[in-house]
Amino acid sequence: MNLGIEDSVRLVEELKAKVKDVSETEILICPSFVALKKVSSLLKKSNIELGCQNICSEEKGAFTGEVSAAMVKEVGCKYAIIGHSERRHVYKENDEVINKKIKIALAHKLKPIFCVGETLAEREAGKINEIISSQVKNGLRDISKDEILKMVIAYEPVWAIGTGKNATPLEAQEVHVLIRNLVKELFNEKVSAEIRILYGGSVKPDNIKDLMMQSDIDGALVGGASLKADDFEKIVKF
């Protein structure tokens, strides 16, 4: 919740010019809801995809203040971030709600970016495997093999979101392996090899290379650094 319409337009115009020649990396931006329509029009015929930061777990109805999957799809979104650490820990969204959001997104042909991650207390208590396994299995409940291949998973250690801290590349890789093995257990080896698993947690130009050197990290879910066109360009082009 940083940029309004005018600032979003300014950032997108700058970003478009900086990454226009990038072809091997998929680029996605997820502006605030109020900027989606304007940004969508700016991204036509560009190499940047559009997503939203959240959707409602319900189809439609008396849910004042919520935004539905159908609404963001109509605006031009192709992706929806679901279960972001702030939605889980600030707004207390549980695995059941997140699972409903994933299903709603898929029903509207939106690609969910399904976020999982542990808190610092959970990590220090040695509960990483337990927490990540629970979030992945509950979030993917009743999701089919065809559906999971339309999704992206993002590992976001909560203690590294907006704190300036980040997991070491090895720490991130260990959790990405865990997630990939869970997907293999729930589906099969082919699916686990194909699904993209992103790392999100204070990703910056100076740590993107070391993170992407890890075999199971397929990309980045960028937070604060995405608000600066120069930094985001460096991450895209590392």
How far is Cα 74 from Cα 92, in angstroms, rounded to an integer?
Answer: 28
Query: Residue 175 has what DSSP assignment?
Result: H
Reported in sequence order, the residue ranges of 141-199 that DSSP labels E, i.e. its strands, are 152-155, 196-199
Q: Which distant-in-sequence residues (6+ apart) come within 8 Å of 74 by Cβ?
A: none
Measuring CA to CA, which residue among 4, 112, 2 is closest to residue 57?
A: 112
**Exposure b/e, 162-187, CB count within 10 A at least 16 = b:** eeeebbebebbbebbebbbebbeebb
The residues carrying an active-site annotation are: 84, 156
